[in-house]
Amino acid sequence: MDQRISMITLFVPDIITARAFFETGLGWQVNAAPSPHVVFFQIPGGVFALYDRGALEDEIGTRVTEAPFGAMTLAWNAKERGDVDAMFEKAVAAGARSIKEPQEVFWGGYSSYVEVPGGHLLEIAFNPFWTVNDDGSVQLP
């Protein structure tokens, strides 16, 4: 298997609210919504999807956790430190819940966390040790 992840999917209890957060609130472009239960966004190097929790349970034939908070985090890395503050405020204005306001962190960067609709954590951070390319992809040192 190649060392890559092609798609990241968040299961959400309310696909309409989650879609509105990313599409309207953050300004992301929906690339496909083949059913009322799933939405796809093209991201650098792959796909980001939102999937209705009930539809996922029907598909896999078992219940999934209703408490995604803390199970994993997503991250949006800024090109510049000041972008963290602006994107944090944009996310909160779009309906995210503030978990940790932007601040200097122990590893040498500047970071914040919000809870997006559906309960997932999104880190909004600047890492001075990484390069963020023009297409938004991250280059490790």
What pLDDT score was predicted for residue 93? 98
Per the structure, the complete domain to which residue 48 belongs is given by 7-135
Helices (H) and strands (E) in the chain, counts: 3, 10
The 10s digit of each residue's pLDDT in 33-90 is 999 999 999 999 899 999 999 998 998 999 887 777 667 889 999 999 999 999 999 9
- Segment among 24-33, 64-73, 108-117 with least mean pLDDT: 64-73
Query: Would 92 be classed as within a structural domain?
Result: yes
Tell me the CB-side half-sphere exposure of residue 21, using CA atoms within 13 A: 21
Query: Would 74 be classed as within a structural domain?
Result: yes
For the chain, the distance separating the N- and C-terminal CA atoms, rounded to the nearest angstrom, is 24
Q: Work out how many domains the chain is built from and give that number.
A: 1
Query: Would 27 be classed as within a structural domain?
Result: yes
CATH of the domain at 68: 3.10.180.10
Query: Would 141 be classed as within a structural domain?
Result: no
What pLDDT score was predicted for residue 123? 96
Contact 116, 18 (CB under 8 A): yes
Query: Would 1 be classed as within a structural domain?
Result: no
* Mean of per-residue pLDDT scores for the chain: 93
Q: Does the pLDDT at position 114 exceed 80?
A: yes
- Residue 98, classed as helix, strand or coil, is strand
pTM comes to 0.89
**What is the β-pairing status of strands 46-52 and 7-12?**
parallel
